[in-house]
Amino acid sequence: SSLVKDFTLRGMDRTQAYDSADFQKLTNLLEIFLIDLCKAEQRSQNNHLQSLEFAALNAYLKKNLNRSLSLEEISAEYGVAIPQLQKSCREQCGCGPITYFISLKIGAAKQMIKEGTFTFTEISEALGFSSVHYFSRLFKSKTGMSPSEYETTLRKGR
């Protein structure tokens, strides 16, 4: 057809004869490329949405460091099923929501210990731990040292 003869693309040899099948293959490849491009854009938008959702989750958890939250409470707050909440959190921070929440609490405890204006009991209560003993055990399991050992290393570093 005249369309086949007149149609040339960069990199195609004008002197070579192309048949309809060649152009159909090219069309199929272009369609696949465009579909892949659209899917990549959609994934990018989903990742952005997940980042925004995680930012909201992060803010909620930080606002509630003084409480003991369960997966049920967190998922109810966001209207998301627990498995979806766990999956999203793992994708964004590499751990589950409760583990992430505990790491935020330990980070806050470290900051409070650095400030040096609170006792370990006050820190434990401020961060919603059931007892200072539980707080100390959890702190040691997450940091490798007890709160008092951590405080000692801070004083030595000054």
Cα gap 98→141, rounded to integer Å = 15
**In sequence order, what are the residues at sequence separation of 6 or more whose Cβ sits closer than 8 angstroms to the Cβ of residue 34?**
none
User: With contact defined as beta carbons under 8 Å apart, do 127 and 65 qualify?
Assistant: yes
- Helices (H) and strands (E) counted in the chain, each on its own, are 8, 0
> For a pLDDT cut of 90, what percent of the chain falls above it?
48
pLDDT tens by residue, 32-61: 777 776 666 666 555 544 676 788 888 999
User: With contact defined as beta carbons under 8 Å apart, do 104 and 72 qualify?
Assistant: no
Say what the pTM is: 0.68
